[in-house]
Amino acid sequence: MRKLMLWLWLYLDPVYFRFTRLHYIGKYHGSTSNIFRVRLTRFKGSPLTLSDGTIINKNDLLLKIHLHNVRLLHELQDETSEIKKAFFAFERVKDSMPGLATYVLTHKRHHDIKAVIGITSLNKGVSRLGFETRNIQSPIYKWVKKMTFYPIHILSLSKPSLKTMVNQPLPNYILMSKNQLLSSYIHRPLEKVMKKRKQTAKRSTS
């Protein structure tokens, strides 16, 4: 039953991808395709101040990140150890961070993007990647997100039980400022190339 549900999700995922206006980040230095899918969004919550001093106000431009959950679950379908699953998922996200940073740095709206934002119930370990967590203030929106994560939570468990299904972690926002993302995950040579490219573009338009 679990494999059937996963197969059905894999089949329907391209439809979901198309209607949510997501974009694949692609490959980074020859590694396998990035685990993130992204889209631009406008922040609609109350003002937030991140740890590096970045202030996010209503309608600021953010890059929303989505884990490619069905792909991750497909890669983990034969693993039975929950600890190994968690470690594998963490490493996949960690390996995808440089690609995410490169995507932001090379985006045509790079200067307008304030931060990256996501929603996840996998809150353990995100601070080690540089993310900060914030509570979802709206109880209705939090409940809706919890319900949408429910099938993912069940499919991720090797042996679902009533206890593990009831104790599904609550979803939270995770955020990282653009400056924090770039300083943590961009190698200096690439930064220099981008700076030189911008200087050349300015000279050609002046």
Asked if residue 18 is part of any domain, the answer here is yes
Contacts of residue 42, Cβ cutoff 8 Å, sequence gap at least 6? 59, 60, 61, 62
What percent of the chain has a predicted confidence (pLDDT) above 70?
Answer: 73
Q: Report how many domains make up the chain.
A: 1
Helix axes 2-19, 139-156, angle to 10 degrees: 140
Q: Which of 5-14, 32-41, 111-120 has the lowest mean pLDDT?
A: 5-14
The verdict on residue 205 lying in a domain is no
Is 204 a member of any domain?
Answer: no
pTM: 0.79
202 in any annotated domain:
no
43 contacts 118 by C-beta, under 8 angstroms: no
Quote the domain boundaries for residue 133: 2-190
> Has residue 105 been placed in a domain?
yes
Query: Is residue 113 assigned to a domain?
Result: yes
- For 12-21, the CB contacts below 8 A with 24+ separation are 13/70, 20/66
pLDDT, tens only, 77-127: 777 787 888 888 888 899 899 999 999 999 999 999 999 999 988 777 899
